[in-house]
Each structure stands twice: as structure tokens, then as C-alpha cells.
């Protein structure tokens, strides 16, 4: 299906994720649109960020149920896709980068094999063309000596190199939309900024949409256009990333004030009045 550059890529209306059989909601009636922009989904651990992202990829286990008034990608209803259609879309039009290369990469396969696999599944390129594209992609994500790297295995790479390999796998088929779920959580601070800067550059160059799952508000402010803030399965706030330092919602304001930085080192961090926040949520 052709992508209309002027329309949203992802539309979610009343998106709910619940435990199958019990009806207990884990994600509560979310409403958002995502286009060719860099959007961050932030919040505490357990707020529903990864559940929301995985619902867009059709990757939730059978024990969880996804319901929505509308959940679509470029007008295609994601709730009615066959497994065959999901397999054609995932890793092709929609791609995802996971948290930790130690667990996401196959330890028994070479780097070249793993980056090439999406091309085998989603294109009709010959072997020589695929290998050339893999080499070019590894170079694009900043990995040195890509031809030699293709013969190496994941355990022979550093964490930062592994993360770049996962990004190469996600982008090798030129998807329209990328979901990055805490892609720098296993890296040190300096390497985190490098990888996020690389993701930003490649997304902009390829005119893609990005949903970045993160808890690092400073890096979100540096690399994203817009931010959605989650708390206990709800989106409490949505604002331009540049406005995070001046956020007016009490939860967003407190998250920003608690970010690690030199000015807060050794000082008590602010606390959130959760009782007041719960009362406000109950009246929404």
C-alpha cells in the first residue's frame, strides 16, 4: 500500500490492552496519531510503554488482548491482519529495535546472515545484491570494516556495536516506521547519545516515522520532536519535546526535575504527590 506523506502513519483510537479473560486493563483507552516525526513515549517502568509499542507490532502474547475503536497503519486495520499479512508487514513496513543485543541477536548466526535475513524474506534481490546492501547498511550505521564484520558473531561485538547491528537489521528493508524500545538501556551514557544521534540521523535521512520508548527525558528532549507521557496505562500529557523544561503537568514536571544532572547531584530529588495525581486521574 502506498504511503501518503501528508497523513498519519499510525492511528490509535481507544486502544486498550488487557489480560485475556479477566478484562483487567493494562493500557487504558489510548488515543494518538504518529506520522513522519520523532515521537517519544516516556514514563516509569510498568507504565505500559512497551505494551503499547508491541501492540502496534502485533507482538503481544495470547494471554493479552488488544482492543481498539481504530488501530491502523496507513489505513490498514491492524486488528484484522492475518498472520501472513503481519509477517509481510513486520520487518518491512514496520520495524522494531529491541533493548539488548545480547538477547535479541542470534548467537549461532553471523552478523551478515542476520542483517541479510529480512532481505531474503521481503525482497527478490539476488545473493550478491543482498550482500552488497548489507555491507552498505553496516557502513551506514557506523560500523568499521563491514565486509569483515559480516563474518563475526554477536559475542565478538561490544554492546554499542551490537546495538548498531540491530539498527541495521531494522532498517535494511527501508521501513516507513521504526519503533525503538529502550534501544540504549544497556549502554553507557556516552554511547547512548551516539546511538540516539545515529537513529535520529537515519530516520531523518529516510523520511521515516519514529516511536522511541525511553525513560531518559534529557535525551528525549535532545532527539525527539514530540513526547507522550504515560502513567499506569494512561497517556497523561503530550507536548513538544522542546517544552519539557517548562512542562506544566505535575507528573511531567516532576519527571523532568528528577532527571540525573550535575545540578541535582547530592541533593534530595522532588517527590510526586501520587494521591493528588490519582484523584485527578479519577476525575478525567
CATH value at residue 239: 3.40.50.300
Rounded to whole angstroms, the Cα distance separating 47 from 140 reads: 34
Calpha distance 258→30 (Å, rounded): 26
Residue 69 within a domain: no
Residue 123 lies in a domain: yes
Is the residue at 160 inside a domain? Answer: yes
Mention every residue, 6+ apart, whose C-beta is less than 8 A from residue 169. Answer: 114, 115, 117, 118
Domain assignment present for residue 105? The answer is yes
Is 70 among the domain residues?
A: no
Cell representation of residue 253: 514536571
266 CB neighbour count, 10 Å cutoff: 5
Confidence band of 7 (pLDDT split at 50, 70, 90): confident
The boundaries of the domain holding residue 248 are: 36-57+80-259
* pLDDT band per the 50, 70, 90 thresholds, residue 271: confident
> Is the residue at 97 inside a domain?
yes
Structurally, the chain folds into a number of domains equal to: 1
Specify the 3-state DSSP secondary structure of 271. Answer: coil
> Has residue 1 got a pLDDT over 60?
no
**3 occurs within a structural domain:** no
Q: What does the pLDDT read at residue 50?
A: 94
Q: What is the reported pLDDT for 280?
A: 61
Please indicate, yes or no, if residue 265 is contained in any of the structural domains.
no
Query: Going by C-beta distance under 8 Å and a sequence separation of 6 or more, which residues neighbour residue 3?
Result: 9, 74, 176
pLDDT tens digits, one per residue of 16-36: 999 988 878 999 999 999 999
- Contact present, 190 and 156 (Cβ < 8 Å): no
- Number of helices (H), then strands (E), belonging to the chain: the values are 11, 11
Amino acid at each position: 500500500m502506498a504511503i501518503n506523506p501528508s497523513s498519519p502513519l499510525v492511528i490509535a483510537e481507544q486502544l486498550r490492552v488487557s489480560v485475556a479473560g479477566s478484562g483487567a486493563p493494562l493500557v487504558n483507552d489510548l488515543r494518538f496519531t504518529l506520522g513522519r516525526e520523532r515521537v517519544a513515549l516516556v514514563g516509569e517502568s510498568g507504565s505500559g510503554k512497551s505494551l503499547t509499542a508491541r501492540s502496534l507490532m502485533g507482538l503481544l502474547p495470547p494471554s493479552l488482548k488488544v482492543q481498539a475503536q481504530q488501530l491502523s497503519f496507513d489505513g490498514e486495520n491492524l486488528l484484522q491482519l492475518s498472520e501472513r499479512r503481519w509477517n509481510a508487514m513486520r520487518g518491512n513496513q514496520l520495524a522494531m529495535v529491541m533493548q539488548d543485543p545480547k538477547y535479541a541477536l542470534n548467537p549461532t548466526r553471523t552478523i551478515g546472515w542476520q542483517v541479510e535475513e529480512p532481505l531474503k524474506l521481503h525482497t527478490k534481490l539476488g545473493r550478491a545484491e543482498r550482500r552488497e546492501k548489507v555491507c552498505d547498511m553496516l557502513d551506514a550505521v557506523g560500523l568499521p570494516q563491514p565486509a569483515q564484520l559480516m563474518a563475526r558473531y554477536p559475542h565478538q561485538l561490544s554492546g554499542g556495536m551490537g546495538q548498531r547491528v540491530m539498527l541495521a537489521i531494522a532498517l535494511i528493508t527501508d521501513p516507513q516506521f521504526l519503533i525503538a524500545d529502550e534501544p540504549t538501556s544497556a549502554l553507557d551514557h556516552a554511547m547512548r547519545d551516539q546511538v540516539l544521534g545515529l537513529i535520529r540521523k537515519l530516520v531523518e535521512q529516510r523520511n521515516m516515522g519514529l516511536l522511541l520508548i525511553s525513560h531518559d527525558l534529557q535525551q528525549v528532549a535532545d532527539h525527539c520532536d514530540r513526547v507522550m507521557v504515560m502513567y499506569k496505562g494512561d497517556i497523561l500529557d503530550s507536548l513538544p519535546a522542546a517544552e519539557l523544561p517548562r512542562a506544566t503537568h505535575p507528573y511531567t514536571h516532576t519527571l523532568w526535575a528528577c532527571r540525573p544532572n550535575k545540578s541535582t547531584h547530592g541533593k534530595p530529588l522532588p517527590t510526586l504527590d501520587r494521591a493528588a495525581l490519582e484523584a485527578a486521574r479519577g476525575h478525567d
